[in-house]
């Protein structure tokens, strides 16, 4: 049977444990990033999950935010992380058990949530919409499962804000092109309020922060991946590719490497 869910790196890769390990490592690095932590903190505060509530974390990855929600809704509430990638779901379950968290995890798809109408008090969806071909449909689905008065937080990246230094001005457009090509909807970040209002939800707050990498690390996998993709697509030549990698290494050794992308958040509610 073919998988009816949209194809993304997360779906196509989910049978390969080595790829899952890489995803977990990447999500862990991001979870430790100061900008990600600040924006998550802002969104959790605005969302205001309370004891006794039913929380849903769509595309929960390793379940870090499902555990935060589980703590917030205790006692008496329940936090569920929905995650289609079986490898990530297993990691999320194991980590929750190790942490003594009541968070629980389900298979499922943002585009067809396996939940009845109006049964969710608070919904979290972070950096998932950028991987979907039809994010507006997913947000309509979120609105369906939220109870009247229920709250929602969407957090996502906007890949047009990707900045890498050093990189010759001549190859910056190529890098911007491949950075955007890695997401199905690369400008998700700027569209959060648009999708929320289109789904009939009332926006209560917008936030932003920057995912800024440590200037002492070259952020090897990202630079290597983008460089290789630009080379493969004929957007840069061998010499430009080598200069990109060498320049990144040299800058990192001086603590002068720069790689950043802006993250946006929107918090909203379903009108009563
Ligand atoms: C960048 S990760 C973000 C994980 C987590 N929300 C976080 O911020 O750490 C993207 C997540 O979206 C999930 N995902 C991809 N397509 C999905 C879909 N159609 N429905 C639900 N989740 C999906 C992936 O499996 C992955 O866990």
pTM of the model: 0.94
% residues pLDDT > 70 (the chain): 94
Closest ligand 1 atom, CA of 26?
A: 1
**Ligand 1 centroid from CA 155, angstroms:** 12
Which regions in the chain score pLDDT beneath 70?
1-15, 220
* Token pair recorded at residue 238: 């061998």
Please state, as a whole number, how many other Cβ atoms lie within 10 Å of the Cβ of residue 85.
23
pLDDT reported for residue 70: 98
Instruction: Confirm or reject: Cβ of 27 under 6 Å from ligand 1.
Output: yes
Q: Which structural domains are found in the chain, ordered by start?
A: 9-269 (3.40.50.150)
**Ligand 1 centroid from CA 37, angstroms:** 18
**Ligand 1 centroid from CA 59, angstroms:** 4
CB-CB contact of 135 with 29 (8 Å)? no
CB-CB contact of 172 with 223 (8 Å)? no
Q: State the DSSP code for 203.
A: E
Closest ligand 1 atom, CA of 64?
A: 9
Instruction: Confirm or reject: Cβ of 6 under 6 Å from ligand 1.
Output: yes
Give per-residue pLDDT as tens, 184-209: 999 999 999 999 999 999 999 999 99
**Ligand 1 centroid from CA 129, angstroms:** 8
| Cα(84)–Cα(50) distance, integer angstroms | 26
């Amino acid at each position: 049977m073919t998988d009816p869910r949209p194809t993304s790196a997360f779906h196509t890769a989910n049978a390969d444990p080595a790829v899952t390990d890489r995803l977990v490592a990447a999500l862990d690095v991001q979870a430790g990033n100061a900008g990600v932590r600040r924006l998550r903190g802002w969104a959790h505060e605005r969302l205001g999950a309370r004891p006794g509530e039913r929380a849903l974390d769509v595309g929960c990855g390793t379940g870090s935010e499902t555990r935060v929600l589980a703590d917030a809704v205790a006692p008496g509430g329940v936090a569920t992380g929905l995650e289609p990638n079986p490898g990530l779901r297993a990691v999320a379950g194991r980590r929750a058990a190790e942490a003594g968290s009541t968070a629980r995890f389900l298979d499922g798809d943002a585009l067809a949530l396996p939940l009845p109408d109006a049964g969710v008090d608070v919904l979290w969806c972070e950096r998932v919409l950028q991987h979907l071909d039809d994010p507006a449909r997913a947000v309509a689905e979120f609105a369906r499962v939220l109870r009247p008065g229920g709250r929602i937080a969407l957090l996502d990246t906007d890949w047009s804000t990707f900045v890498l230094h050093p990189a010759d001005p001549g190859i910056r457009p190529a890098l911007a092109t491949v950075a955007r090509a890695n997401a199905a909807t690369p400008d998700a970040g700027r569209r959060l309020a648009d999708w929320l209002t289109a789904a009939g939800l009332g926006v209560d707050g917008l936030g932003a922060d920057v995912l800024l990498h440590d200037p002492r690390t070259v952020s090897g996998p990202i630079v290597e991946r983008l460089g290789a993709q630009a080379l493969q697509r004929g957007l840069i030549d061998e010499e430009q590719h080598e200069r990109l990698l060498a320049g990144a290494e040299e800058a990192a050794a001086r603590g002068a490497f720069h790689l950043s992308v802006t993250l946006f958040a929107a918090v909203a509610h379903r009108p009563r």
